[in-house]
A = this chain, B = another copy of it.
Amino acid sequence: MSLLIVGSTALDSIKTPNAENPRLLGGSASHAAVAASFFTPVNLVGIVGEDFPKKYVALYRKHGINLDGLQNVPGKTFHWSGEYEVNMNNRRTLATELGVFETFNPTLPEAYRRTPYVLLANIAPSLQHHVLDQMKKPKFVVADTMDLWLNIALQDLLKLLKRVDAFVLNDSEARQLTDQDNVMVALKQIHKMGPKYVIVKKGEHGAILSGPNGIFVAPAFPLEKVMDPTGAGDSFVGGMIGYIASQKGTVDSKIRRAMVHGSVVASFCCEGFGLQQTTRVTSAKIAQRVKTLEKLVRF
C-alpha cells in the first residue's frame, strides 16, 4: 500500500576530512522517500526553489516517487552545510539557509489524503500537524524528529505525540526529552506521552523498539567504511515504514523485520555521500544484506 512522506527536501553540502561535496540531494524526506521506494509507492510532500537541479527531480522519478505534492516555487531551495570530524560521529553545522522552506505550507493534493501509511519525517512539528490534519483515516502514522524541535517547538511536538502510532528519535534526543539517561526508562516515559511504538535509534549500535509485544533490540549492519552518515536515520525510518506498508499482516507481526530492512537501507546510505549509494541499491541487494544480518545475530 502507498505511503505519504512529508519532510525536508534540501541541498546538502557535506565536508568530511577527505572530501567536499557541494549541493547533494538531501533532506529528511528525500532520504526517507528513496529508502521507502524499494518497498512501496511513495507520495512525496515537500518544497523546492528555482535552483533545484532537474537531475534530482529525475532521481525522484527514477524511484517512482509521486511528486504531485512537491511544490516548486520562486526562491532558493533549503540549503544545509555541515562538516564531519574524522570519526564520523561528530558533525558541525556550518550553515542553514532555509530559503523557500521558511514559507512552506504543505497543502496536500486531494489524491494524497487517503494514503494509508504516513511518515512525518523530520520537519517542524507544526508542519507535521498540518499534514496530519489533512489526512483521512490513515492506517499507521510514524513521526521522526530532531533535537532542534525539542529545543524550540517542544509543546507542538508533545501534542503531535498524542496523534501518532509510532515515534522515532535518537538516543540523545530520548535522553533530552525525558531527562532520563537510561534508554529503557526513557522508552517507558515516551509511551506515556502517547505513541504505541517508540523506537530509539543508536546509530552504529542499532536501534531499540518498545511496543505492545515488548522490546526488540535491532542490530545495525556493521560497516568497514562509513563515507557519510548524513540521512542514515531518515533512510532507516523510510525503509522501515516502506517495508511495513508493503507487507500484509498486523504491524506487530512485521515491525521487527521492518526495522531490520530500515537498518540495511541505512547501511547503504552511509557508504556514499548523500544519496549516491542508496540510489544504486536494488531490492536484491537489500534482501542479501538482510540475510547476512540474520546470520550475524544468530546464536
Binding site for B on A (CB under 8 A): 86-88, 181-185, 188, 202, 204-206, 208, 214-219, 222-226, 256-257, 259-260, 294-299
Q: In the complex, are the beta carbons of A298 and B184 less than 8 A apart?
A: no
Say how far A291's CB is from chain B's closest CB, in angstroms: 12
A86 closest partner in B (C-beta): B181
Q: In the complex, are the beta carbons of B217 and A182 less than 8 A apart?
A: no
CA distance A226 to B185 in the complex (A): 11
Q: Can you name 27 A-B residue pairings with CB atoms under 8 Å?
A: A88-B181, A182-B223, A182-B224, A182-B225, A183-B204, A183-B222, A184-B223, A184-B224, A188-B224, A205-B205, A205-B206, A208-B222, A214-B295, A214-B296, A215-B296, A216-B296, A216-B299, A217-B219, A217-B297, A219-B219, A219-B297, A256-B298, A256-B299, A257-B299, A259-B299, A260-B299, A297-B297
* Chain B residues, CB < 8 A from A299: 216, 218, 256-257, 259-260, 294
Q: Which 4 A-B pairs have the closest CB atoms?
A: A256-B299, A205-B205, A184-B224, A87-B181
Q: In the complex, are the beta carbons of B222 and A217 less than 8 A apart?
A: yes
* Chain B residues, CB < 8 A from A257: 299
CA distance A296 to B295 in the complex (A): 16
Q: A interface, by DSSP: helix, strand, loop or mixed?
A: mixed
Cβ-neighbour of A296 out of B188, B217, B225 (below 8 A):
B217
Q: In the complex, are the beta carbons of B224 and A185 less than 8 A apart?
A: yes
15 other contacts beyond A214-B295, A215-B296, A216-B296, with CB at 8 A cut-off?
A86-B181, A87-B181, A182-B223, A184-B222, A185-B225, A202-B205, A205-B206, A208-B222, A214-B296, A217-B219, A217-B296, A219-B219, A219-B297, A259-B299, A294-B299
CA distance A216 to B297 in the complex (A): 6
Say how far A81's CB is from chain B's closest CB, in angstroms: 23
* Chain B residues, CB < 8 A from A88: 181
CA distance A181 to B225 in the complex (A): 10
A261 closest partner in B (C-beta): B299
CA distance A214 to B298 in the complex (A): 12
CA distance A20 to B228 in the complex (A): 44
Residue among A183, A205, A256 with max Cβ neighbours from chain B (10 Å) = A205
* Chain B residues, CB < 8 A from A208: 222
